[in-house]
Every structure is written in C-alpha cells, then in structure tokens.
Structure 1
Amino acid sequence: MEPTKAGVSLVWAVLLSTHVVRSQPGIELTLPRSVNAVVGKGVVLPAAYSTNRRINLIEWSVIDRTNTKERRPVFLFNPNTGVFNSGWNYGRRVHLEEQASLRMDHTRREDAGTYVLKLTTDDLQTTEAQVELVVMVPPTVRVGPSNPHVVTKGKSVTLTCSVRNGFPNITSLTWQKNGVPIERLTPDDLKYKAGSLKSPNLVIRSVDRTDAGKYTCAVSHPATDKDIKSGMSLNVLYPAAIIRISEAHTVPAKESVTLQCIAEGNPLPNMTWTRDGVVMPSKLQSVSGDLRSCTMVLHNARMNETGSYTCKAWNSIDKPDAKPVFLTVGPPAKGLDMSTVAIVIGVTVGFLWVSLCFILLVCYIRRRRHRAEKTKFAFYYNLGKREPNKADEKSEEGPKVPAKPRLSAPMNTGIGTMRKSKKGQERRYAKVLYPYLPIEENELCLQIDDVIEVLEGEDGGWCLGYLRGRIGLFPSNYVSFLKANEGKPVAPPRSGIELDDTGKRSI
C-alpha cells in the first residue's frame, strides 16, 4: 500500500527536523523540531533519551500563546512509581508511548503550539527540549451562486468557488465539467476564463445548451491526499425549435394520413397543429430529455381537407417557432383499396392452403387403404411373378404351356351364336387345376376350381372356353375335363382377384 501525501509529509518533517539535546552530562534527549497533525485525528510527538542516571520524572508541557514565559502542564509521569497525571485541557486524550513519546488522540485546532519535554534525574538534574505541533485543518469548499443555477442561452455566467477555514493554505484549485478538467475541454481558453488558484471563480462566455451540466471546484490541501470538491448543476434555458416535420403528403380520399412534428427546447415546448388559424386535434408526447412530438391524424381524409397545416412550438424563452406542411387529398383510389386487396389475398391463400391439406390427407388415406389391401391379397399379387421354392414346386407351378393352335371359330363370335352352332351337342366343362395369368389379351385368367365352358378343343394344347362373361383361350393341361354327368358347373368361389369386361384383373 502506498503512503498518503499527509503521511509522507509527516515522516519527512520528522526526519529532517530531528535534533539532539545534551543539557547535562550523561543525558542525551532526541526530539523532532516540528510535527504535523490533522484535526480530529491522533498524533505522536516522538521523543527518546539515553542516560546512565535514574529518571524520576517525565514532564510534557505547552508554552502559553499569550504569555510565552508560562507553561501549561500536559502530562506528568514518574517511571519509578508509575504515577501519571494529565493537564486539565487534555484529560484522557494524552498518554506516553515507549520511553517518553507523547500520544494525543482526537487532535483539536487549539492543540497547536510549542511542546516542551523535561526530564528530571534522581539527583534533581533536569534536561528539556522543544517540538512544534502544527495542526492542519482541511478547508471548506463552497460553489455558487446557487445549485442548480439557471442561465439563458447567449449570456455569460460566473461560477464562484470559496475556500474557507483551512490551515495551511491550499496548494491547487481547478474546475471540472462532468468530471473532465476545464483545460482539457477548451485548450484555447475562448470559452472559459479564470478558475484557478489565483482566480478561483470560473467565467463561461456566451452560454449555449452544450454548456449545461455539473461543474465541480476541486482543491488540494496538505491535510488530505484526496481533492476536496464541491459541485453544482448549470441549467441552460433556450427557446423552442422545430427540428423535424413531415414532408408534403398526397393521399387519396377516404384514407388516413398522419402528420408529425418534433421540437426541442428548455423548458419543454408546447406544440399544436393548426389550419388557417384553427387548432387541430393532436397528441403531444415527450420523446426524451428536451424533445417533444406532436402528432395529428386525419381519418377518412376528404378532398376539402386539402391545404397547408402548420406546426407551432413555443416556451417561455424568446419567440415561437412554426413550420408549414402542405397536404393534398385527391380523388378516391379506383378499384380495391390496399386493405381490401390484403384481405382477398389472405383469404385466397388460406383457402389454397386448406385445399392442399385436404388433398394430401385424402391421398394419404387412400394410400394406406391400398397398402392394406395389397398386404391382404399379397399371395394373388405375387402369383406367377415370384420364383417357386422347393416346398411348393409341385402344388403351385403349372405344367408347361402348349403352343397355341389356329382356331377355326372367330374370337369375336358371341357365346349365343357359338352355342347354336353346337345345337344337339352336350355342353362340355373343365375345372381349373392350376392358376394361370394371361399373357395376351385373347387368353382367360384362370383360378383354381374355376369351371370353364369348353367351346372348342379337348385333344390337348389350347382350348377355347367361356368364363365369367368372356370368351378366350386357355391351356388344356391346366384343367381337368369333366364327365357328361358333371356338366352343370359349380359356381367358383370369389377371390380377391376380379376381371373387368376387357379381361384385365382388378383389385
């Protein structure tokens, strides 16, 4: 920790002023010439002696200021008996430290003076020495003329700084604005005058709004290592001024229009909007600090409201400030206005979004149903497509398909015509043993246990038959021909695979 200025001064004062007194042979007494103290704090008057004699009395006294020949007792002490006594004006504030040093607590301003230390030996020989006690008093600093101090823009103002009741004198005096030394703000000294140790008062020339702030007078004194300060606020008044206003407007009728005006001033300005001298309804609002705004709104503007609108701002300083803005209200806009267009667009977008979500939901449901049906009839979907394994090689794989014959009967002949051509002959039927998927359009789709009416061919190869309302070819080695007494067909069981009118399968 660094020593304080007062502490360093005290140490150097003690070291430089120490002197040795030899009043009697064999007695050496050491005291400083002077000691500095700060009022209200403790101080030690250091003293030491060396002797081969016996000391019977240590006596501290102070020389009377009015009569230098008289001394007032401060503290008496008998080292042999331990008995001590303090002067009437000191009480318990004084006591001895180490050999003969005098400690004084709560130093007062009137404690300053010349103190004398006297030693008495057992043979009544005496030795004495003096030390000067300097009691330093920090000064009181006051600034003015008032706090806060109000001044109008353009004038000059003098800020006073008085330093009183200090001892010794101050060593420096400076002014600060918002914590920054004045000399750093205007090095050319055109704005400020004086404000120093020789001339404590600060003069501010041609005050403007930027000069407002907190001003502090700071002084340095030996009694303390910190500056002693006193501050005040300077409030600068200036007239109202409009700093921003809306530009000229051209709007269609039946629309809303907003006119805004911003002004500054101290005190805060009053503001209005007028048209041809008539005050218009408006809203006044504080923006920040010394700024205010005035807003006027015309709802459903009409064409007869075209004209010049004036914003006016004023306060108690100087003349008011006024600025005009011209508003033109034209014919109503053709077609839909912007609000209606926005509503239509919003509704359209919403409808499209809902429709898209609905379509996606339907597709999702249908897809799930299709997957479920496909899983349910997976056997029939994969029939004829998958590779047979060894376990079902005999039961599912049909015989080799024979080569197709050349048919004598046309394929597009109706079933009734073909039956008439075979009048008198018994109808022949065949039962399907193996499933068969048609490769060409003129082939029938066969399922196990289907019963086919045979129209032509029973001698092997391909036969012509009638099944489920369709005439087509089928391989004879995939069926078993029924006997005559089994001619009435048995309705085949319905499966998950059906044929449409063209012979194609559907699920």
Structure 2
Amino acid sequence: MDKVPAVLVAVITFMCAEAATVKPSTPTIITVRGMEGDSVTLPAYFRKDYRLFALTWNKLSGGMYGTRRAVYMFSPATNSTMSFGPLENRAFLTKDRSLTIVNAGTKDEGLYVLTSLLDVVGQEEHYVLLEMHAPPQVQIGVPSPLQIVEATSLTLNCTVDQPGALIQPLFWRKDDVIVDTFHVVSEQESNQSYMSTLFLASVSRAQSGNYSCVAKHIGGEETDSVFLEVTYPAKIINISEANVVLQGEDVILRCLAEGNPVPSLSWLRTGDPDPLRSIVQTVYTGSRTLKMARSQANGSGEYTCVAANGVGKPHHESVLVSLSVVNAVTKLESKTDVGLGLMSGSKLYTILVIAGSVAAAICLLVVLLLLAFLLCRRGKTSSRRHSDVQMNNMATATHNGRVNGDKPDVRPHRTSSDKGTPAAERRFAKVSTPYESDQCGFLTLQVNDIVEVLRTDNSGWWYGYHRGKLGAFPAACVEMLTLSKSSSQKKLSASSETNLISDKRTVTS
C-alpha cells in the first residue's frame, strides 16, 4: 500500500470533518444487489467537467446521517489509493472511479456514500445501498425418475428458499423447452419461502421427459429436475396371419408389441396353460418369434401371443395354423376339400399338365380336319369316292352340331373304325356330387349329368368329356354306369342328342 502524503491526509481530514456536517435535503440512493462470494461494483457519479481533487468512499452506520467510516481514498494529483477497514486489500477502483468489492459477503451490506472534492463546485456526495443475497435453494421434492400411468393427472410443487435474489417468477422447462402447460406461482409466504406448482392433466406418453423448475436470480439461475416416465399397458401391434403349412415344413409365427415398461411376450397353444418353449429368437425388444421345427400334423390349432408388462391387463392375439398332409386325394367331401386337393396333390399337377397337352392336340387335330373338309368341298373335280367322303363328312358335321350354320362341335367322338375302344364299349358316369371349377382343363358338373369317361387314374382324378368340353374331374363325384350293348348305344345316342341341343343353345346365345 502506497504511503499517503501529509497534504493528502490533511485534505482527507478536512473532507471528513466537512462531510460530518453535510445534511443533503433530498439525497438519491441507488441500490446494488450482489450474491455472496461474488464481486460487486458500487457505481461512482460526479461531474466529469470539473477537476477532481480527491475522492473518498465511506460506509455509513446508523442510517444516512449516522457515523461515516472511510473504506477507500483516491488522490488524482499523486495517483495515490488506499483501502481501509473491512475492505482492506479487497477493493479497487475502476476506470470510471466506481468501487469494486471482491468476494463480497453479508458483512459488506449497507449504505455507502461517495464524496468528491471538485474544483469550483466544491464537495458532492452520491449514495449507494448494497444488498447481499445468498443463492436460492430450489427443490421439487419428489424422487427421480417419477413413474406415472398414462391418462392420469400429475401435480409437481417447486419450493424456493432465500428468494430475495430472484429477478423473475419461477418457471418450468421440459427438455430445455419452456412448458406452456397451466401452472401457478403461489404468493410469497415470507422472505424465506416461495413456491410454484405445475399441473398436468391426463398425462400422455408424449409428455415423458425431464422437467426442471428454474429460479433466475441476480447471479444466474438455480434449478431442480425430475425425470417423468409415463407408463402404459402392453399392446400387440402386429402378429402373423393365419396360414396353412405343409407337413414337414417349419412353422414360424411372429408377434410384435409395444408398451412401457417393455413388455414380455410368450406363445401359448389353446388348451395348454404352459408357454411354448420353442422360442428361437428375439429380433429386438418387444418382438418374439415362435418356431416349431419340422411340424407334424397334430400341430394344427390356435396359437396365442400374450404381451404383459405389469401395467394394466395383459393383451393377447391369436392366429390359426393348419398343417396339410400331401398325399393322393381319394375322396372329396366338399368344394373346400377339392380346392385343398388341388393345392397339395403332386400327382394332380402331373395330370393337369397331361390333360392340357392332350386337349391342345385334339383342338389342333379338329382344326386340321375342318380345313381339309373345306378344301375338299371346294374342289372342282371330284369322284364318287370323293363324293362319298364328302357325304360322310357332311353327315359327320351334321351329327357333330353343324346344323343351319351352327359352329361345329369339336368333341372327339369315337366310332367303330377308330383305334382303341369300340363305340359299343364307351364308358359313361352319372354325377352324384356337384363340382365347380373355373380353371382351364377342368369340367364343371351338376347332379344327374352324364359324363363320358375317357381315362381313369388311381390318383382320384379322371379325364372325360361333357357338354362340348374335355377336362379333369374328381372320381369321387360320379358313379359309373353299367349298360348292355343295346342300352349303351341308346344312352350314347341320347347323350349325344342332349349334348347337341346344349351346344346349339350355347352357340345361339
């Protein structure tokens, strides 16, 4: 610390004596607020357009007109400074002559006066009131994380002790975003307590997050936080659809659920209370896959996925699994059975391929015969043999449905001259069970229809002719007719006539 010259001491002594008698009529007081442990600055005000001879900071005891105690002095003439008493070695002047106190505390609170000695003007005084505050203590008072069930209400109370340093009311933040939800700041109960209430009605899962109560004060801000975790019941959001699996193949069922906490999933078979243990993988949390390797026919049934997480009731969804056995179709009870036989019979596929090939060959042969018939008819030269052939062809065309310009019937009727089975040995069957099919290469049959059987097979599927069409049909749907030779010929004639009438109606329509 610099030594103070005798002249400066005399000036200061004179100023202190004069100041003791000064009683400003309407002094102006400026209030400065500071936090304990921080540095605070008392601003200096004096006329800058006059020469400054001396400057003194005094702390008053007993009010504005109480006892003054010098804490800091400055002489511009010698550029000398000195700190005294409680501010010794803790205070310094800024460039504008304001007084800065380092590591300020409650003991530094009080009223300060700045006395300036100016040329011509004389003495001026400026008053500053210093208030010191402790940092506010913020507390929400609930454990973190805080779990709450979805759709319920929540009230959070935030209490602040030592609120004197607050510069604005308390407010709330969620994940660093100010909460706009309704909340109440209570009246200040005393100088030592302050409270804010946050109310959330019907909490949703989207409101999960970190909630902070914020107290802004002159030294910054103080906060207390709680993490809100919204729980909700488990719910299955995706499950495998009902499916049909061939015997010997693996059955894979998948189940996906959501919930908080993350739900646990298990698979049950209807009628069996014990969970299935053939769970082979968990793709990710909340998902469960059931795999039954090399399934057997007795594995058919209803399988249920159950999701639970301790919140609310468990959620479950079921899926139906049908295991199909691949073998020859011996009897078809219904249209559904027929369809299943079409899907699962490997021999049937071979029959269909052969039937399609035969049908295509027959159609090609009929077209060639028709072309030959037309060419022969238009020939300019003919012989009796040709005329007989032409007569026979015309008779055949008439018999096959070419009447009055009708389209020819392309059915492959057999005659006694054809190779293979004679006409008298043609086989017919009567339809006992209806069968419908919209697939190419299959016949549609009604009860009591007569079908000409062209080929039989141990697979359960026969090949025949009915109403101008060739195709496959289930053997279980018909009953073979046993006729004598004369009866067979009558039946053949009646069946052909019926087919001709049916074909003609079809062409006419």
With normalisation by structure 1, the TM-score equals 0.49
Q: TM-score, normalised by structure 2?
A: 0.49
